[in-house]
């Protein structure tokens, strides 16, 4: 038993260390109500196709599944069908995997389940994506010229920089509270270097829509399962009440 407990504690420590190594900033909370907003989901799908599918894929989703968020087959063909010929095909990336590996050093990951895979003790996968997409900044020491607070030293460039504009991360040098001889750099905010096509609020709203779509894409039937679950709970409560009254009726004359 002691060995089992020790193994579990070690696994938890390793998981916590891996999370801290990836990025230790607090995650911003994703506005969950966007996932049930059809207009937000449609706008998010447009952003995903225009900015994400150039390098990434969503190979577990077919274009015709977008009809579930209120888009007609005709709208999908005219506005979103850029990497396929038929709406029944999957959402593959525009770039060839061989070219992607040569240019970036690795094939960009499939994003179908990204909103679920990024969940941790710090927040949901949607929270992580919402924070990640909004915390890129200029860093000339990186090969792409960009870095990210939620994912330090990320290999992905800031593909949405035209919308957000260029920003620099501002740090303040302070004395380490645990060691007065050491200096630590604390992040204090961003400095806007060049304006983007969107205001900061507009960009945040756009990223909320994009994350809403990615959250829906990771589990399209989530809302249906919630409705089924609520119905089952109501049924069980009703059945429990009937069983309780029947039990009282059967045993009322037994002493």
* The total number of residues written for the chain in this structure: 255
117 Cα distance to chain centroid = 8
Q: Give the start-end residues of each E strand in the chain.
A: 58-62, 90-91, 136-138, 146-148, 166-176, 179-194
Cα–Cα distance for residue pair 60/226, rounded to 1 Å: 22
Which residues sit opposite 187 in a β-bridge?
A: 171
CA distance 90 to 53: 11
Query: Which tokens is 234 given?
Result: 């109501």
185 annotated ligand-binding residue: no
d(CA 54, CA 50): 7
Beta partners for 113? Answer: none
H and E: helices and strands count for the chain? 9, 6
User: Is 158 labeled as ligand-binding?
Assistant: no
Are 116 and 125 in contact by the 8 Å Cβ rule? The answer is yes
Is 43 annotated in a binding site? The answer is no
CA–CA dist 38, 80 (Å, integer): 16
β-pair partners for 194: 166
CA dist 198 and 208 (Å) reads 14
Question: Using CA of residue 76, residue 34, residue 119, residue 29, what is the dihedral sign?
Answer: positive
Q: Report the candidate in 19, 20, 81 with the shortest Cα–Cα distance to residue 50.
A: 81
- Which residues carry a binding-site annotation for heme c? 52, 55-56
Query: Which residue numbers belong to the known binding site?
Result: 52, 55-56
């Amino acid at each position: 038993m002691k060995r089992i407990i020790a193994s579990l504690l070690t696994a938890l420590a390793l998981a916590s260390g891996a999370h801290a190594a990836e990025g230790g900033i607090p995650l911003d909370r994703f506005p969950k109500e966007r996932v049930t907003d059809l207009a937000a989901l449609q706008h998010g799908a447009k952003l995903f196709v225009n900015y994400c599918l150039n390098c990434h894929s969503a190979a577990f989703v077919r274009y015709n599944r977008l009809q579930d968020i209120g888009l007609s087959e005709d709208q999908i063909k005219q506005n979103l069908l850029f990497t396929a010929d038929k709406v029944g095909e999957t959402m593959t990336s525009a770039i060839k995997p061989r070219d992607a590996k040569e240019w970036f050093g690795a094939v960009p990951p499939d994003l179908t389940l990204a909103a679920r895979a990024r969940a941790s003790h710090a927040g949901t996968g949607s929270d992580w994506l919402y924070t990640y997409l909004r915390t890129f900044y200029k860093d000339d020491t990186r090969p792409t010229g960009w870095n990210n607070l939620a994912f330090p030293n990320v290999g992905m460039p800031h593909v949405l920089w035209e919308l957000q504009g260029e920003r620099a991360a501002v740090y303040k040098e302070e004395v380490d509270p645990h060691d007065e001889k050491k200096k630590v750099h604390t992040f204090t905010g961003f400095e806007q270097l060049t304006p983007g096509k969107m205001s900061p609020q507009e960009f945040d709203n756009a990223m909320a829509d994009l994350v809403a779509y990615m959250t829906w894409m990771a589990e399209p039937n989530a809302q249906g399962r919630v409705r089924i679950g609520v119905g089952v709970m109501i049924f069980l409560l009703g059945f429990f009440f009937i069983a309780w009254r029947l039990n009282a009726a059967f045993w009322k004359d037994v002493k």
